[in-house]
Amino acid sequence: MKTLLKRFVPTVLLLTASGALAESPLQGPSDAPAREVLGTTRPQPAVEDQVKELTQTVQSLDAEVKQLRALEAERPAPNVDLGGPNDHPLWP
C-alpha cells in the first residue's frame, strides 16, 4: 500500500499541474527573439564616463585617507602600562 502511494502522489501532482497549464491561455508567437530579454533597461554610460567617475571616487577616498592620517599623527599615542604577567590584585 505504501509503495502504491509513493507512485500515486507524484502522479496526481503532475496531472493537476499539467491540467492548470492546459487551461491557461497561450500567447501567440512573439516577434522578439528567444534570447532577448524584454523589459526596461537604462542605457549604459560610456566607458570614459565610468572611468572618470571611478577616478573621482578614488581621488576623494585618497583625500579622506590623508586627512585621517594627519589627524592620527597629531593625536598623542596613549601610554598604557600593561604591567607584568604577575601584576594582578588576585595573584597570590
Quote the CA–CA distance of 67 and 25 in Å, as a whole number: 64
Question: For the whole model, what pTM was predicted?
Answer: 0.38
What is the C-alpha separation between 42 and 24, in angstroms, rounded?
A: 33
Q: Is 8 helix (H, G, I), strand (E, B) or coil?
A: helix
Express each pLDDT in 19-73 by its tens digit: 666 666 666 555 555 565 566 666 666 888 889 999 999 999 999 999 999 998 8
- 14-34 pLDDT, tens per residue? 777 776 666 666 665 555 555
